[in-house]
Amino acid sequence: MPKKKEKSLGFDEALMQMDGVEAPNDEALCALSGAGAEQQPAFEKMWRTLDADRRTAICDRLIEIAHDDVEMEFTLVFRIGLRDADARVRLAAAHGLWEEASPDVITPLVQVLRTDADLKVRAAAAQSLGHFLYASEIEELSAVRGREIYSALLMTLRRTDDESSLYQRALESIAYSGTVDVDFFLRSATASDDAGLKMSGVIGMGRSNNHEYQSLVRAELHHVSPHVRREAARAAGELEDVDAVKDLAELIDDSERAVCEAALESLAQVGSFDAKRIIESVIASADDDLKEKAEEALQMYEMLHGDFDFNVNIFDEESRTSFHALNAVKMLKFGRGGAAKSDK
């Protein structure tokens, strides 16, 4: 597990170090965690003195720190970064809010999605809005906020070229809503010859929790693109497609390791007896790296389908923090999720 970062510097000391000639160290950056309205004027004053390269580097490193330690929270920095004059800073800030819990960042992200001049920044905002829409769908966030996000994403789809990264991230995020309008966009995307658009359609079908998409997702499990195969494997698990077990078993021998790992995780989510037997056979015969993934998959299987005291730390960092990968786990096991705080 990554080491937990400890805050030992005070906030004012951290600002002084950031304003220096040398790049700030992690100790100073960690001191920014949890900063709020009281600290904002002093931070913004210091932030304006930094050049764009330094601001970008700080945001990038804060993302890494927050990824390693879920208790680190840099909302203040990222919200200020969303208004930065430099697109690189805005892009990093939008990515930094990907798993942000506070609904206070929804309106700024929607504004960026609608008006930012940079396509990549808008795409990152669309991606970060996805988990808030999911939270609204499971009633962890108010319906009013959910409609605000849905309307902005739908408008983006209707006004954007479908092969752009913006369109694709918006499609993946709006898929949580499962409306008739979204069904049209998902089916069109999955039928596309463009691998990137098809992949977004498959991701969206998995996120929709609509079992009517099972056969369409299953048809993409052996696509020529390993990226499409990987996302189809994940989606098959999210949709609990028992008929996909045979194909998922074949993907365990895929030439791309990411596809193998996605197939194992999805077998755990599908949860049939055959799926469990396949996972156990991998544990008995695979190389050490894949065996470890199979053991994690078996733990997930037991958590979802048996009596098991679940410990999220059994998973590697990517699986543990990935909203997409564990979305189905939270839905199936707990019914409600903790993706965002309610603003009801």
pLDDT tens-place string over residues 55-113: 999 999 999 999 999 899 999 999 999 999 999 999 999 999 998 888 999 999 999 99
Decide: 226 and 215 in contact? Cβ < 8 Å: no
- Establish if 304 belongs to a structural domain: no
Please give the tally of structural domains in the chain.
1
> Which residue would you say has higher pLDDT here, 59 or 339?
59
DSSP 8-class letter at 191: T
- Establish if 278 belongs to a structural domain: no
Closest CA to 198 of 190, 206, 209: 190
- Establish if 275 belongs to a structural domain: no
Residues 6+ apart with CB under 8 A from 299: 308, 310, 314
- Establish if 47 belongs to a structural domain: no
pLDDT of 308 higher than 50? no
Taking the C-alpha atoms of residue 236 and residue 263, their distance in angstroms, rounded to an integer, is: 9
Question: Over the stretch 97-126, which tens digit does the pLDDT of each residue have?
Answer: 998 888 999 999 999 999 999 999 999 999
DSSP 8-class letter at 287: -
What single-letter amino acid sits at 184?
Answer: F
Taking the C-alpha atoms of residue 124 and residue 137, their distance in angstroms, rounded to an integer, is: 21
Q: Write out the residue range of the structural domain in which residue 188 sits.
A: 97-208
pTM of the predicted protein model: 0.84
- Establish if 103 belongs to a structural domain: yes
- Establish if 144 belongs to a structural domain: yes
- Establish if 134 belongs to a structural domain: yes
pLDDT of 324 higher than 50? no
Question: Over the stretch 186-220, which tens digit does the pLDDT of each residue have?
Answer: 999 999 999 999 999 999 999 999 999 999 999 99
Return the percentage of the chain with pLDDT > 70, whole number. 86
